[in-house]
Amino acid sequence: MTTPPRELALERARSHRDDDLQDLFTLLRQPSISAQNIGVEECAVLEESLLRDAGLSVRRLDAPGHPVIYGEWLGAPGKPTVLFYGHYDVQPADPLELWHSDPFTPTIRDGRIYCRGVADNKAQHFSHIAAIRHWLKANGSLPCNVKIMLEGEEEVGSPHLDTIVTANKDILAADLVYTSDGPVTDDRYPEIEYGVRGLLYVEIEATGANRDLHSGHWGGVAPNPILALARLLNTMIDDENYVLIEDFYENVRVPTPGAQAALEKLPFDTAATIAGIGLTEMVPPADRSYAERIMFQPTLNIAGITGGYSGEGSKTVLPARASMKIDMRLVPDQTPDEIWEKISAHVDKHGKGITIKRLDGGMLPSFTPVEHPMGDIVRAAVERGFGTVPISVPSAGGSLPDSVWTQTLGLPSFLVPYGAPEQANHSPNESYRLERLYQGIETSIHLMDLLGQG
Ligand SMILES: [Zn+2]
């Protein structure tokens, strides 16, 4: 009896784990910080050689900004085509003093790889590359058609992704888009996410006098810009965390029955989740579940506020300016453009001496129906790869440029995080569990196998 190609691929993956680890380490050692333009081109070159070595034909897509790497294998006519998406850029590593090992020297401790970018997103998209490589080296051909696109600007909000996808619609045509990024919500279950929240990021600045002032000479005379920001915030969000910006909720979509049913089946333990971040309760409103908040509700979050003196000891200063940054997570059918109009009108109306500016373009929310037929294949692959029935999460809490797939390309898009909740994306000591690296590779092997049978 002949061994099925899938088994040959899995056997090869299991017997080449050290090779995979070394290749991943090479990728990890190369910093690729898009925000600071550090090492991005060098990392793109490494990705190209990895894809080539896996057996794909590789090129760069014509793109403004950091390189977009594209690889394909299209030798299975009549079979479905999967488009894998990933990003090779990473967040800055600061604050460096909080790392227990060098952020760009991959280090294994307690079954985890510690390195900036390992979870977000290098180990995750590497899992697809390794799966393709093992299958091709074991069998000579793939069971379905495969495309992979790796972006170098995800951590700065993917400013060119929509332009690139729009310009390369034919090249990127597929039957589904499959992205592994972010952590699962509950470590006990693998997870499939069918959408993401959108994002709008703004900076608000208040100014007072033409210079910082002596608070004894000028206090009670000149305006305090920090106070102006506090007063503005008070008009933007109430004690129940309801956003007061006019018509902010106007386009929030009522969840579909399928999405609502999936949400009700989620086995999340809210108390344990909250305890994990050192809290005993959620902020108001009390009648809204954890999952509902993360998936179906928009937020207005104050990400940072700066102004005046906050150094050691005291300085009696009346500052001339203060600023704050606000991120808003958006849900279908809100759009960054629409919310920008609404928040800037609000600031114009309520903030005397206050200006607002939009930082980058933001991201649209995105949505694939839980009931989409490709979902059955994805769920089966994940169950085989992780050995556990996955949960269906109608929407992730975070933001990814997923709408380029669902809206620009019109494809179903599945977000299948291979990472664990405690992997500390964007934080010091980002890490990735070795076990999840191997489970991810096997899941991607099963996905190609099941697509080939479909
Ligand atoms: Zn990230």
Structure tokens at 306: 């700066």
Please tell me the distance between residue 196's alpha carbon and the centre of ligand 1 in angstroms. 14
Question: Of 324, 327, 281, whose CA–CA distance to 304 is shortest?
Answer: 324
Please tell me the distance between residue 375's alpha carbon and the centre of ligand 1 in angstroms. 25
Please tell me the distance between residue 431's alpha carbon and the centre of ligand 1 in angstroms. 13
Please tell me the distance between residue 400's alpha carbon and the centre of ligand 1 in angstroms. 9
Per-residue pLDDT reduced to its tens digit, 146-159: 999 999 999 998 88
Mean pLDDT calculated for residue range 200-212:
97
The three-class DSSP label of residue 204 is strand
Strand partners, 59: 70
Per-residue pLDDT reduced to its tens digit, 36-93: 999 999 999 999 999 999 999 999 998 899 999 999 999 999 999 999 999 999 999 9
Q: What is the pLDDT of residue 423?
A: 84
Q: What is the pLDDT of residue 31?
A: 98
Please tell me the distance between residue 31's alpha carbon and the centre of ligand 1 in angstroms. 14
Query: DSSP class of residue 405?
Result: I
Please tell me the distance between residue 223's alpha carbon and the centre of ligand 1 in angstroms. 38
Please tell me the distance between residue 34's alpha carbon and the centre of ligand 1 in angstroms. 11
Percentages helix, strand, coil for the chain, rounded to the nearest 5? 40, 20, 40
Please tell me the distance between residue 294's alpha carbon and the centre of ligand 1 in angstroms. 17
Give how far Cα 115 sits from Cα of 230, 285, 434, Å.
38, 37, 13
Per-residue pLDDT reduced to its tens digit, 124-135: 999 999 999 999
Q: What is the pLDDT of residue 362?
A: 86
Q: What is the pLDDT of residue 273?
A: 86
Band (297; pLDDT cuts 50, 70, 90): very high
Please tell me the distance between residue 393's alpha carbon and the centre of ligand 1 in angstroms. 19
Q: What is the pLDDT of residue 267?
A: 86
Q: Do you know the residue count of the chain?
A: 454
Band (422; pLDDT cuts 50, 70, 90): confident
Mean pLDDT calculated for residue range 315-322:
97
Mean pLDDT calculated for residue range 287-314:
95
Instruction: Please report which helix (H) or strand (E) contains residue 201, including its range.
Output: strand 198-207
194 within 8 A of 294, measured Cβ to Cβ: no
Report the C-alpha gap between 136 and 57 in whole angstroms: 13
Q: What is the pLDDT of residue 396?
A: 87
Strand partners, 72: 57, 147
Query: DSSP class of residue 63?
Result: -
Band (268; pLDDT cuts 50, 70, 90): confident
Report the C-alpha gap between 162 and 168 in whole angstroms: 10
Give, to the nearest 10 degrees, the angle between helix 17-29 and helix 434-453. 110
Band (410; pLDDT cuts 50, 70, 90): very high
Please tell me the distance between residue 86's alpha carbon and the centre of ligand 1 in angstroms. 11
Instruction: Report the chain's C-alpha Rg in angstroms.
Output: 24
Q: What is the pLDDT of residue 186?
A: 85
DSSP result, 348-361: HHH-TTEEEEEEEE
Report whether pLDDT(406) > 90: yes
Please tell me the distance between residue 186's alpha carbon and the centre of ligand 1 in angstroms. 19
Q: What is the pLDDT of residue 360?
A: 76
Q: What is the pLDDT of residue 8?
A: 98
328 within 8 A of 342, measured Cβ to Cβ: no
The reported pTM is 0.81
264 within 8 A of 390, measured Cβ to Cβ: no
Lowest mean pLDDT among 35-39, 89-93, 257-261, 310-314: 257-261
**Whole-number percent of the chain with pLDDT over 70:** 100
Give the Cβ contact number of residue 291 at 10 Å. 20
Mean pLDDT calculated for residue range 413-432:
93
Report the C-alpha gap between 369 and 412 in whole angstroms: 8
Q: What is the pLDDT of residue 454?
A: 74
446 within 8 A of 380, measured Cβ to Cβ: yes
Please tell me the distance between residue 150's alpha carbon and the centre of ligand 1 in angstroms. 14
Please tell me the distance between residue 155's alpha carbon and the centre of ligand 1 in angstroms. 5
Please tell me the distance between residue 114's alpha carbon and the centre of ligand 1 in angstroms. 15
Per-residue pLDDT reduced to its tens digit, 181-202: 989 988 999 999 999 999 999 9
Please tell me the distance between residue 187's alpha carbon and the centre of ligand 1 in angstroms. 19
Please tell me the distance between residue 220's alpha carbon and the centre of ligand 1 in angstroms. 44
Instruction: Please report which helix (H) or strand (E) contains residue 149, including its range.
Output: strand 145-151
424 within 8 A of 188, measured Cβ to Cβ: no
Please tell me the distance between residue 424's alpha carbon and the centre of ligand 1 in angstroms. 10
**Whole-number percent of the chain with pLDDT over 90:** 88
Please tell me the distance between residue 157's alpha carbon and the centre of ligand 1 in angstroms. 9
Please tell me the distance between residue 117's alpha carbon and the centre of ligand 1 in angstroms. 8
Please tell me the distance between residue 209's alpha carbon and the centre of ligand 1 in angstroms. 38
Please tell me the distance between residue 418's alpha carbon and the centre of ligand 1 in angstroms. 14
Please tell me the distance between residue 383's alpha carbon and the centre of ligand 1 in angstroms. 26
Report whether pLDDT(291) > 80: yes
- Across the chain, mean pLDDT equals 95
Please tell me the distance between residue 90's alpha carbon and the centre of ligand 1 in angstroms. 7
For the chain, which domains are there? 5-196+365-453 (3.40.630.10), 198-261+295-363 (3.30.70.360)
Please tell me the distance between residue 12's alpha carbon and the centre of ligand 1 in angstroms. 31
Report whether pLDDT(419) > 90: yes
The three-class DSSP label of residue 168 is coil
